[in-house]
Structure 1
Amino acid sequence: MRTVDELLAAQKSALRENGALNYRQRQALLRALAQMLRQHGTALSEAIARDFGRRHLRETEIYEIYPLQAEIAYVLGHLRNWVRPRAVHTRWPFLPARSLIIPQPVGVVGIIGAWNYPLLLTLLPLISAIAAGNRAILKGPRLAPQAMTLLAQTLRDVTSEDTIALVQGSPDVDHAFPGLPFDHLIFSGATRTGRVIARAAARNLVPVTLSMSGKSPAIIQRDYPLAAAARSIMAGKLVNAGQTCIAPDYCLVATDQCDAFIARAQSATLSLYPHWADNPDYTSIPNGRLWERLDGLLQDARGKGALLWQPSPAPAWPDGAQRPFPPTLLWNVRPGMKILEEETFGPILVILTYDDIQEALDYVRDHPAPLALYYFDRDQRRALRHCKGIAAGGLTINDTIFHVAQPGIPFGGIGLSGIGQYRGIYGFQRLSHYQGVFRQNRLSACEWVRPPYGRWTQLLIAWLSRWG
């Protein structure tokens, strides 16, 4: 088995000898990837379920397999248009020369996947890399070892490691990978880790795309039906047990509607996940460390005066391979509680209140830009107007999380929630170098501006300054 350094050297050597992937090679590779997902999707879903302890196969199919298949279909339908050279304006004094922009692959792309959606967040950027004609090395997340072992095997059936390679995460690989001289590096994960990745990549001046989530808010306008808002918010919060980078982290509801919203959110939770502890639809937490972290956030908040509701309390310690954490509503939350200072990344919804909608908008603006923003309002024009001045990676109005299901919408954060975007044409553009080309004609006016400079040159410059 080759090391990461050897794989990178092999891919760069293949790039020098064979060139970048041409249009037909990209098509064939994307189709082979789609076939791999059709053929091995169930086995990959089963492996992910084992890594988590419990995760329904349908959940993986809906939120990982299908989005990847849809992305491939979208890219294949548009790729011919994306790869074409584009003629751009040439200033008339230079005619009949022509100016073009030609998209070129950047080279070898490094991709660091995330454990919460190990297939989606590893293969989605890979689709963008292939579309742009690049080779890629993927680093699988350590918390999904069974899924990544199977994915590595299936990828070897798709193409050689000189084109796409996957390495398993380990302490040594995790430390070395971001410091390698890739031509672009894509990372999905926590902001704290993203800072480390960016510093390591900067030593080789490697450009990065970082998707780092943050605390995504849901704002509910006073006149919006609370039951509908509660069901959408709880569905987005509890899918994958809240271990979703764009899950609603907290919601802002009018003060005099707080009790009513809590009641609606309780009903929605019980409807979505009855008997959560042994419900096969409800995903587990992958390990005890992550489970203890969530419990620690709750204990800190309760100790400082927060109130909470759970359908039934969690056991003192999760026993066995399955570690479900109870769906939790948390309110009466105040500054100084840890849960307001860090991303929850679990099935805990914080409920905050506002007296005036401007207070809610200002609260979101005064905090770091999130990866996603959710706004519930009967008046969608007003919703767009209110959200216009809020920095966020993406926006869904009157629902949650489904903006990322649209391949025509870019995925990525802003500020502390990320750098850059991918998916669809935005991923193609992110992982391409747009080379400007000036193609001179045999008839050229450029001789007039070359030495020796004389009176005619002076007159020409004066004329061009006025009319050119």
Structure 2
Amino acid sequence: MLTEGAAAAALRRLREAQARDGSPSLERRREALLSLRRLVTAEAEGFAAAISEDFGGRSWHETMISEVGVVVAAIDHALARLHRWSRPERVFVGWRFWPARALVLKQPLGIVGVIAPWNYPVQLALSPLVGALAAGCRVVLKPSEHTPRTAEAICAAVARHLDRDLVAAVAGGPELAAEMSGLAFDKLLFTGSSATGRRVLRAAADTLTPVVLELGGKSPAIIDPSADLKRAAADIVAGKLLNAGQTCVAPDYVLLPRATMPAFVEAAKAAAARMRPDPSGSDATAVCRSADRERLKRLVAGLDLVPLLPTAEPRGTSPCLVIDPPQDGELMSEEIFGPVLPLVPYDDPEEVFDHLNLRPAPLALYWFGRDRSRLTTVLARTRSGGVAVNDTVLQVAVEGLPFGGLGESGVGAYHGRAGFDAFTHRRSVFLQSPLSGARLLRPPYGRLAERAISAMVGGRVR
């Protein structure tokens, strides 16, 4: 007899609750979101301690801002708009169907699976719950095994604070993620690498489970000749230093005018020194996994490096710039996911488009400059999941903006209204009137039907 896996057991239990109780009411959804908010605020310090232990050092401030603060803001945004998002939409049927009516009902998809990553282990586990619970879905959540203490803390917190008939958190390794990928969820959200995302998509295809994939890629920062170079350097360094570069929308490399390279290097070093006056202090975040530390050292081996901070750490795991790396090397083909920032010079702004459009669409694109006509051209001639102008990373925290990739950087989007929509079925309802004129267009056809047809097609047909 086959043993039921943890994810399958959780899915079965939630399906039983769905069959017994039906979809959660609007009031129950509100209470679920408020319970999630209480969970995040009550467990914030415990989460911060667990993440720091898992990472081998993680800034408390970064955790509070990028994990706890982001989730609380998402919940508050949804609570304030839930009634409006959930309202049925009236649809104009057109004169041909008068006096019939039509509307679109917003109904929950059902049971959602969430497979979360390790780099923001709380935010990227709990943020998807906001849209799913707002939409009236039930959720099976798997935190990342690469941050085991945080995963344990999340599972315990979910059991303490959330309705067990709405959310189940299950802990486990790659085998559990593989199990979830093959289950018949009503939707599956995965955040992680493109390689793993492909495996999830293949497994989900067997059950025709729709997916949202948040994957990443090499997000460029473009410095236009019109840019304020010092400000651009500071904003790019801030985005790169956040979470030691272990952010899916971190600026992955910089495209900049060749003549500005020396000035940019000095501005970046000055910005890093201001932000990290004590490189080994409490606000320092470590590269989390030993495999990633080794990979980063391999990526920068033999390249022209400029340390951003004075440190005894091996290069690659501490912040550094890479000057004009080979375009066919691993550094410029893999997502870096660490505190390494390549600088790629260009001589003509047209080279920027040649560079970007020969590569997969990134999750984010950053543009720095003051020439609005050039910005318009960049937006028209490039593709990316999202764009930030004269800053980095902050676009992800704007709940009114959908967050998602394009092509290899992802499938689908969530956050804010986009998150509600991602887990909602828009059910079409057509309401016929007893006085329906459409019945005149049924056989046997006569002169009246022919007149109606003439009116429909815009002229006499016989």
TM-score with structure 1 setting the length: 0.94
What is the DSSP-based 3-state SS (H/G/I as helix, E as strand, rest coil) of the residue aligned with 1:147?
helix
**1:316 Cα deviation from its structure 2 partner:** 5.8
**1:246 Cα deviation from its structure 2 partner:** 0.3
Distance in 1 between the 2:171 and 2:137 partners? 21
What is the DSSP-based 3-state SS (H/G/I as helix, E as strand, rest coil) of the residue aligned with 2:252?
strand
What is the DSSP-based 3-state SS (H/G/I as helix, E as strand, rest coil) of the residue aligned with 2:343?
strand
* Cross-structure match for 1:333: 325
* Cross-structure match for 2:42: 39
Q: Report the CA distance shift for 1:387/1:460 in structure 2 as closer, same or farther (over 3 A).
A: closer
> Residue 368 of structure 2: which of 373, 376, 382 is its match?
376
- AA partner of residue 352 (structure 1): V
What is the DSSP-based 3-state SS (H/G/I as helix, E as strand, rest coil) of the residue aligned with 1:261?
helix
Native 8 Å contact 1:380 1:397 kept in 2 = no
When structure 1 is superposed on structure 2, of 306-315 and 226-235 the one drifting more is 306-315
Native 8 Å contact 1:314 1:325 kept in 2 = no
* Cross-structure match for 2:287: 285
What is the DSSP-based 3-state SS (H/G/I as helix, E as strand, rest coil) of the residue aligned with 1:259?
helix
- AA partner of residue 35 (structure 2): A
> Residue 91 of structure 1: which of 85, 89, 94 is its match?
94
- AA partner of residue 305 (structure 2): L
Distance in 2 between the 1:87 and 1:315 partners? 61
* Cross-structure match for 1:12: 15
Distance in 2 between the 1:205 and 1:367 partners? 29
- AA partner of residue 166 (structure 2): T
* Cross-structure match for 1:142: 145
**1:124 Cα deviation from its structure 2 partner:** 1.0
What is the DSSP-based 3-state SS (H/G/I as helix, E as strand, rest coil) of the residue aligned with 1:248?
coil
- AA partner of residue 14 (structure 2): Q
| Residue 29 (1) aligns with residue 32 (2) | yes
| Residue 116 (1) aligns with residue 119 (2) | yes
| Residue 405 (1) aligns with residue 397 (2) | yes
What is the DSSP-based 3-state SS (H/G/I as helix, E as strand, rest coil) of the residue aligned with 2:43?
helix
Distance in 1 between the 2:85 and 2:306 partners? 51
What is the DSSP-based 3-state SS (H/G/I as helix, E as strand, rest coil) of the residue aligned with 1:434?
strand
Equivalent positions of 1:341-352 (< 5 A) are 341-352=333-344
> Residue 307 of structure 1: which of 304, 309, 319 is its match?
304
Native 8 Å contact 1:312 1:326 kept in 2 = no
**1:257 Cα deviation from its structure 2 partner:** 1.0
**1:269 Cα deviation from its structure 2 partner:** 1.7
Distance in 1 between the 2:443 and 2:378 partners? 59
**1:40 Cα deviation from its structure 2 partner:** 1.3
TM-score with structure 2 setting the length: 0.95
> Residue 188 of structure 1: which of 184, 188, 191 is its match?
191
> Residue 56 of structure 1: which of 59, 64, 72 is its match?
59
Distance in 2 between the 1:424 and 1:88 partners? 23
Distance in 2 between the 1:190 and 1:171 partners? 13
What is the DSSP-based 3-state SS (H/G/I as helix, E as strand, rest coil) of the residue aligned with 1:263?
helix
Q: Structure 1: which 5+ runs fail to align?
A: 318-323
Native 8 Å contact 2:5 2:179 kept in 1 = no
Distance in 2 between the 1:75 and 1:465 partners? 45
Distance in 2 between the 1:335 and 1:157 partners? 50
| Residue 367 (1) aligns with residue 370 (2) | no
Distance in 2 between the 1:154 and 1:307 partners? 46
**1:467 Cα deviation from its structure 2 partner:** 6.8
Native 8 Å contact 2:364 2:387 kept in 1 = yes
Native 8 Å contact 2:297 2:314 kept in 1 = no
Native 8 Å contact 2:402 2:418 kept in 1 = yes
- AA partner of residue 308 (structure 1): L
- Cα offsets for 1:201-238 (capped at 9, x unmatched): 11111111111110000011123222111111111001
What is the DSSP-based 3-state SS (H/G/I as helix, E as strand, rest coil) of the residue aligned with 1:435?
strand
- Cα offsets for 1:242-264 (capped at 9, x unmatched): 00000000001111111111111
Distance in 2 between the 1:435 and 1:316 partners? 56
| Residue 395 (1) aligns with residue 387 (2) | yes
Aligned residues: 456
Native 8 Å contact 2:400 2:415 kept in 1 = yes
Instruction: Indicate the percent of aligned positions where both proteins have the same amino acid.
Output: 38
What is the DSSP-based 3-state SS (H/G/I as helix, E as strand, rest coil) of the residue aligned with 2:163?
coil
Native 8 Å contact 1:137 1:165 kept in 2 = yes
What is the DSSP-based 3-state SS (H/G/I as helix, E as strand, rest coil) of the residue aligned with 2:113?
strand
When structure 1 is superposed on structure 2, of 402-411 and 261-270 the one drifting more is 261-270
What is the DSSP-based 3-state SS (H/G/I as helix, E as strand, rest coil) of the residue aligned with 1:448?
helix
Native 8 Å contact 1:412 1:422 kept in 2 = yes
Query: Aligned Cα RMSD in Å?
Result: 1.9
**1:356 Cα deviation from its structure 2 partner:** 1.4
- AA partner of residue 110 (structure 1): G
* Cross-structure match for 2:217: 214
When structure 1 is superposed on structure 2, of 51-60 and 382-391 the one drifting more is 382-391
What is the DSSP-based 3-state SS (H/G/I as helix, E as strand, rest coil) of the residue aligned with 2:136?
coil
**1:158 Cα deviation from its structure 2 partner:** 2.5
Distance in 1 between the 2:372 and 2:190 partners? 33
- Cα offsets for 1:116-140 (capped at 9, x unmatched): 0011111111101111110011111
> Residue 350 of structure 2: which of 324, 343, 358 is its match?
358
Distance in 2 between the 1:49 and 1:384 partners? 42
- Cα offsets for 1:382-428 (capped at 9, x unmatched): 32332232111111111111111111011000111011110111111
**1:19 Cα deviation from its structure 2 partner:** 1.1
**1:6 Cα deviation from its structure 2 partner:** 1.1
* Cross-structure match for 2:200: 197
When structure 1 is superposed on structure 2, of 328-337 and 239-248 the one drifting more is 328-337
- AA partner of residue 69 (structure 2): Y
- AA partner of residue 87 (structure 1): R
Q: Structure 2: which 5+ runs fail to align?
A: none
Distance in 1 between the 2:416 and 2:314 partners? 45
When structure 1 is superposed on structure 2, of 456-465 and 252-261 the one drifting more is 456-465
What is the DSSP-based 3-state SS (H/G/I as helix, E as strand, rest coil) of the residue aligned with 1:101?
strand
Native 8 Å contact 1:29 1:158 kept in 2 = no
